[in-house]
C-alpha cells in the first residue's frame, strides 16, 4: 500500500514517512504542489495526505485535480489554519477526511487505517457489482432481442411502470435488471419477489413485512421486500400468481405510494419503481375475475415482450459459446465446444424451457462429456418432431422480422444439408452469388464448414 504526503513542512513529512514505514507501508513525500503532482503521476499512491495551504499553491485546488483524474485515490486533508468552510469544501470535493494540526499520532493512524479499510470495502463492492452485472448479462444479436433491449433502454430513463411478458425461462428478470441498471435508481437496491415461489398465505408478510406478534411465529418486526426496495426497483415476477388481496395492496402502493406492514396501522411512505412480469394471459385472467383489471392497467404502462428462444434461434451459437466459457470457469473444466452438427440440432429444437433449458443442457453435457468437442451424438434425444415444428412455426404469431429470421435460418440450414454442406453448390442451386450467401450466413450466425 502506497502513501504520499504533500506538505511544505519537511519535518512533518519525514516524521509521518517514518511512522508509516514502521507500519509496513511504502511512503514518499513532496514539499511543493509541483513535486506532489509529479509523484501522483509516477508513484501511483493509494492514499494522499495533503496540506490545505502550501507555499506554491492551494491544496484544495490540487485535491480537485487529483479526484478528477484519479477518483479512486483516497485523499485526507490536513491543515493548521483552515476553518469549517475549508473543511466543508474539501469533503464536497471528494476528500475522505479533514484533520487539523497539530497532528495527533493516534488520530492520524486511525484515520489512515479507516480510509484503507474503506478502500478495500469499495473494491469488494465494485467486484460484487461487476459479478452481479455479469449474472444479468443479456447475450444475443437477433432482431427480437435488440428490439427488447432498445425499448428497455428507452423506458429506463423514466419512472414509468413496465410489464414484461414472455414464456418461462426467456429472460424476463434480465430485462427487468437491464431497465434498473440504466435508470437513475441504478445505485439503489434491485429487489426480486416471485409470487409463484411463495405460498399464498405468506405473500403479504414477505412483500409488505410484519410487526412483532402479528401472527404466530412473528418474534420480531421484519421489513418486507417492498420496504427493502425503497428508492430502488421492485421486480414482481409472475404477478399473475399473486392473490387478489395482495393485488389490492400493490394497487394502493402504485396509486398512493404507501402501505402498512402486516399487524400494523402505521402508514409507511415508499418511493419505489415497480416492474412486473408474467408468462400468463392476464387479459383472460381478468375475464375470469382472477386478476384485477385496474391493477393490470396500472402495471401495463410500457409493455415489453421477452422473446422465446425459438424466436431468436440465430442467438443460439452465441449463447452456447457464452455458457461453454462460463461453465469452464465454474466447473474448473477444460473449455469445450459444440460441433456444427450439434449446433444444428440445437437450432431446430423447440426449447420449451427457453434459455433456462439450454443453459441446463449445456451444464449437463459439460459434466458428462469427456471430449473437448461436444458432437451431435452426445446430445440427448430432444424429442424433435419436424411436423410439429412446421405447425408451430406457421401457427405462432410473432413479429414479421422475427419469423423471417427464423425461416431464413431453418431454410439455409436445410439447403446446406441437401447440397452436402457445400457453399458454392448451395449458392448456385438457390440462384445466389456466393458472396451474398456468405454474408447471409454471417448475419444469421451460421458457421458451417464445407466438406
Identify the CA nearest to 342 among candidates 360, 311, 321, 367. 321
Same-domain status, 222 and 100: no
pLDDT band at 387; cut points 50, 70, 90: very low
Higher pLDDT, 357 or 124: 357
| pLDDT at site 398 | 66
Same-domain status, 127 and 147: no
pLDDT band at 450; cut points 50, 70, 90: very low
Higher pLDDT, 142 or 403: 142
Q: Tell whether omega for the bond before 102 is within 30 degrees of 0, i.e. cis.
A: yes
Stretch 97-124: mean pLDDT: 87
pLDDT band at 386; cut points 50, 70, 90: very low
Domain boundary among 73, 106, 131: 131
Same-domain status, 172 and 275: yes
Q: What is the CATH number of the domain that holds 111?
A: 3.40.50.2300
Provide the domain count of the chain.
3
| pLDDT at site 394 | 67
| pLDDT at site 391 | 54
Q: What is the pTM of this model?
A: 0.63
- CA angle at 115 for the pair 114 and 116, rounded to the nearest 5°: 90
Q: What is the 3-state secondary structure (H, E, C) of the chain?
A: CEEEEECCCHHHHHHHHHHHHHCCCEEEEECCHHHHHHHHHHHCCCEEEEECEECCEEHHHHHHHHHHHCCCCEEEEEECCCCHHHHHHHHHCCCCEEEECCCCHHHHHHHHHHHHHHHHHHHHHHHHHHHHHHHCCCCCCCHHHHHHHHHHHHHHCCCCCEEEECCCCCCHHHHHHHHHHCCCCCCCCEEEEEHHHCCHHHHHHHHHEECCCCCCCCCCCEECHHHHCCCCEEEEECHHHCCHHHHHHHHHHHHHCEECCECCCCCEECCCEEEEEECCCHHHHHHCCCCCHHHHHHHCCEEEECCCHHHCHHHHHHHHHHHHHHHHHHCCCCCCEECHHHHHHHHHCCCCCHHHHHHHHHHHHHHHCCCCEECHHHCCCCCCCHHHHHHHHHHCCCCHHHHHHHHHHHHHHHHHHHCCCCHHHHHHHHCCCHHHHHHHHHHCCCCCCCC
| pLDDT at site 383 | 45
List, for residues 17-30, the tens digit of each pLDDT value: 999 999 889 999 99
List, for residues 172-207, the tens digit of each pLDDT value: 999 999 999 999 999 999 999 998 888 888 899 999
| pLDDT at site 33 | 92
pLDDT band at 444; cut points 50, 70, 90: confident
Higher pLDDT, 121 or 78: 78
Stretch 378-395: mean pLDDT: 57
Higher pLDDT, 401 or 79: 79
Higher pLDDT, 20 or 401: 20
| pLDDT at site 422 | 77
State phi, psi for 69 to the nearest 5 degrees.
-95, -25
Residues 6 or more apart whose CB falls under 8 angstroms from that of 227 comprise: 208, 209, 261, 268, 270
Stretch 153-161: mean pLDDT: 95
| pLDDT at site 448 | 55
Same-domain status, 190 and 294: yes
Stretch 312-337: mean pLDDT: 92
| pLDDT at site 167 | 93
Q: What angle do helix axes 423-430 and 400-418 make, rounded to 10 degrees?
A: 120
Higher pLDDT, 347 or 401: 347
| pLDDT at site 180 | 96
What is the rounded CA–CA span in Å between residue 176 and residue 164?
8
Domain around 118: 2-131
Judge whether 261 and 252 are in contact, CB under 8 Å.
no
Domain boundary among 269, 290, 307: 307
In this prediction, what percent of the chain has a pLDDT beyond 90? 56
Judge whether 292 and 247 are in contact, CB under 8 Å.
yes
Domain boundary among 277, 307, 337: 307
Tell me if 75 is assigned to some domain: yes
Same-domain status, 219 and 281: yes
What is the rounded CA–CA span in Å between residue 137 and residue 319?
11
List, for residues 405-430, the tens digit of each pLDDT value: 778 887 887 787 677 767 888 888 88
| Largest separation between any pair of C-alpha atoms in the chain | 89
Same-domain status, 189 and 256: yes
Stretch 252-268: mean pLDDT: 93
Is pLDDT at 385 greater than 50 in this prediction? no
Tell me if 359 is assigned to some domain: no
Same-domain status, 154 and 245: yes
Stretch 91-119: mean pLDDT: 89
pLDDT band at 15; cut points 50, 70, 90: very high
| pLDDT at site 441 | 76
Is pLDDT at 125 greater than 90 in this prediction? no
Please provide the average confidence, as pLDDT, over all residues in the chain.
88
Same-domain status, 102 and 182: no
Stretch 294-312: mean pLDDT: 95
Same-domain status, 104 and 252: no
Same-domain status, 125 and 148: no
Is pLDDT at 133 greater than 80 in this prediction? no
Residues 6 or more apart whose CB falls under 8 angstroms from that of 75 comprise: 47, 48, 50, 63, 66, 67, 94, 95, 96
Judge whether 202 and 208 are in contact, CB under 8 Å.
no
Amino acid at each position: 500500500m502506497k502513501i504520499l504526503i504533500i506538505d511544505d513542512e519537511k519535518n512533518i513529512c519525514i516524521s509521518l514517512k517514518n511512522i508509516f514505514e514502521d507500519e509496513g507501508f511504502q511512503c514518499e513525500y513532496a514539499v511543493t504542489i509541483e513535486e506532489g503532482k509529479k509523484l501522483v503521476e509516477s508513484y501511483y499512491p493509494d492514499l494522499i495526505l495533503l496540506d490545505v495551504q502550501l507555499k506554491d499553491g492551494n491544496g484544495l485546488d490540487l485535491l480537485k485535480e487529483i479526484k478528477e483524474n484519479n477518483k479512486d485515490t483516497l485523499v485526507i486533508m490536513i491543515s493548521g489554519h483552515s476553518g469549517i468552510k475549508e473543511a466543508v469544501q474539501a469533503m464536497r470535493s471528494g476528500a475522505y477526511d479533514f484533520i487539523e494540526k497539530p497532528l495527533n499520532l493516534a488520530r492520524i493512524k486511525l484515520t489512515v487505517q479507516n480510509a484503507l479499510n474503506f478502500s478495500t470495502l469499495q473494491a469488494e463492492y465494485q467486484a460484487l457489482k461487476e459479478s452481479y452485472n455479469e449474472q444479468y448479462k443479456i447475450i444475443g444479436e437477433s432482431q427480437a432481442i435488440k428490439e427488447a433491449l432498445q425499448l428497455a433502454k428507452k423506458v429506463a430513463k423514466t419512472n414509468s411502470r413496465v410489464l414484461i411478458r414472455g414464456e418461462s425461462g426467456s429472460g424476463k428478470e434480465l430485462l427487468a435488471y437491464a431497465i434498473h441498471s440504466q435508470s437513475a435508481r441504478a445505485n439503489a437496491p434491485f429487489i426480486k419477489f416471485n409470487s409463484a415461489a411463495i405460498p399464498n398465505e405468506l405473500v403479504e408478510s414477505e412483500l409488505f413485512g410484519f410487526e412483532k406478534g402479528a401472527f404466530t411465529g412473528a418474534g420480531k418486526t421484519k421489513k418486507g421486500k417492498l420496504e427493502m426496495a425503497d428508492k430502488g426497483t421492485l421486480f414482481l415476477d409472475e404477478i399473475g400468481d399473486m392473490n387478489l388481496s395482495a393485488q389490492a395492496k400493490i394497487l394502493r402502493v402504485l396509486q398512493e405510494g404507501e402501505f402498512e406492514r402486516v399487524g400494523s396501522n402505521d402508514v409507511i411512505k415508499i418511493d419505489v419503481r415497480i416492474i412486473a412480469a408474467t408468462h400468463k394471459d392476464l387479459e383472460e385472467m381478468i375475464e375470469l375475475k382472477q386478476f384485477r383489471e385496474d391493477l393490470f392497467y396500472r402495471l401495463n404502462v410500457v409493455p415489453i415482450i421477452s422473446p422465446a428462444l425459438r424466436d431468436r434461434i440465430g442467438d443460439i451459437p452465441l449463447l452456447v459459446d457464452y455458457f461453454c466459457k462460463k461453465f469452464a470457469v465454474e466447473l474448473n473444466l477444460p473449455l469445450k465446444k459444440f460441433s456444427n452438427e450439434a449446433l444444428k440440432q440445437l437450432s431446430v429444437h423447440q426449447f420449451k424451457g427457453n434459455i433456462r433449458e439450454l443453459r441446463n443442457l449445456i451444464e449437463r453435457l459439460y459434466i458428462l462429456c469427456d471430449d473437448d468437442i461436444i458432437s451431435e451424438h452426445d446430445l440427448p434425444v430432444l424429442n424433435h418432431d419436424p411436423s410439429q415444428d412446421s405447425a408451430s412455426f406457421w401457427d405462432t404469431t410473432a413479429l414479421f422480422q422475427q419469423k423471417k429470421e427464423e425461416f431464413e435460418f431453418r431454410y439455409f440450414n436445410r439447403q446446406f444439408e441437401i447440397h452436402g454442406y457445400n457453399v458454392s453448390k448451395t449458392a448456385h442451386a438457390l440462384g445466389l452469388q456466393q458472396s451474398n450467401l456468405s454474408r447471409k450466413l454471417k448475419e444469421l450466425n451460421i458457421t458451417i464448414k464445407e466438406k
